[in-house]
Amino acid sequence: LQVEKSDVDLSTAKYSRLPDLNASVGADASFGRVLSSDNTYQTKNQTSGSLNVSASMPLFQGMRINHRIKAGKLDLAAAVQDMERAREDVAINVMTLYLEVLYNKEMVGVAERQLTLSEQQAGRSRALAAAGSRMTLTQARNDLQLALLDLSQALNRESAAGFDIVAPALDSMDLAALHRLGSADKVYAYAAENRPHIRAERLRLESSEHAVAVARSALYPSLSLSGGYGTGVYSADKDKFWAQVRHNSREYVGLSLNVPIFNRRAARNDIRTAQI
């Protein structure tokens, strides 16, 4: 879900380069001194209607959009690494529980062998030792069933009934392969370079650098292009409806430059926050 959210955020950043388009329709009733279609005031009651369509597109915003897109790509990559970390955590958890089951299986075997030895003893000593060995065996079997239950739940099985594992067959070649993994320092270096959660944090660090650039963009002027169409109809006008729509229409196109001068240090503090 976090990956999907990051993908949506990236899509929003990419589409922010496109122009927007808005339309509005209005109607009102005026009484007393009212503005007529010839832009003069008359003393009469009037109803009027208006239609406006406008569009605008950012031309320059201090590279804000570019940095948001780059940061969005890094955030998406970090979310993917988080998902890989979740998969890795599940795999490690299953492996740990599997080893726990193997351990408890071995403990059951130890208890069974101990009970056999105890039953071979004679007299009162045999009875006391056998009782303790049977208790140890019962406890070992209970621990094994609990370990199997934990592993079954980690695998999202509906039930642990009849569930068991196959112990790995280890031979000298398998053990020799373990020794080829390298030194502890090499293993650590590989993990530090490839573990998903470390890679995710590196991506977030790079994304935060773009967040600083986005905050800095508020210090630069912004330039936008706009255009639109509007028209109106008036009850006091003698022309018919569609004739009024035509001769009352107006179109415009323009450039808008916004220069930040002082915004109560909000932009500077946004930069400091992003840096932190």
The position carrying tokens 């208790």 is 135
Average confidence (pLDDT) over 225-253: 89
Which has more confidence, 170 or 125?
170
Average confidence (pLDDT) over 103-127: 77
pLDDT at 178: 66
pLDDT at 131: 66
For 8, 99, 130, 144, the CA distances from 112, given in Å and listed in that order, are: 59, 20, 11, 13
Average confidence (pLDDT) over 92-103: 95
Q: Is 64 exposed, middle or buried (0-12, 13-18, 19+ CB in 10 A)?
A: buried
Closest CA to 100 of 62, 144, 50, 163: 144
pLDDT-derived band of residue 121, with 50, 70 and 90 as boundaries? low
pLDDT at 215: 95
pTM above 0.75, yes or no: no
How far is the C-alpha of 46 from the C-alpha of 32, rounded, in Å? 9
Checking if the pLDDT of 129 tops 80, the result is no
> pLDDT exceeding 70 applies to what percent of the chain?
91
Closest CA to 38 of 237, 252, 246: 237
pLDDT-derived band of residue 235, with 50, 70 and 90 as boundaries? confident
pLDDT digits (tens, 9 = 90+) for 147-202: 999 999 999 999 889 999 998 877 666 666 667 777 889 889 888 888 999 999 99
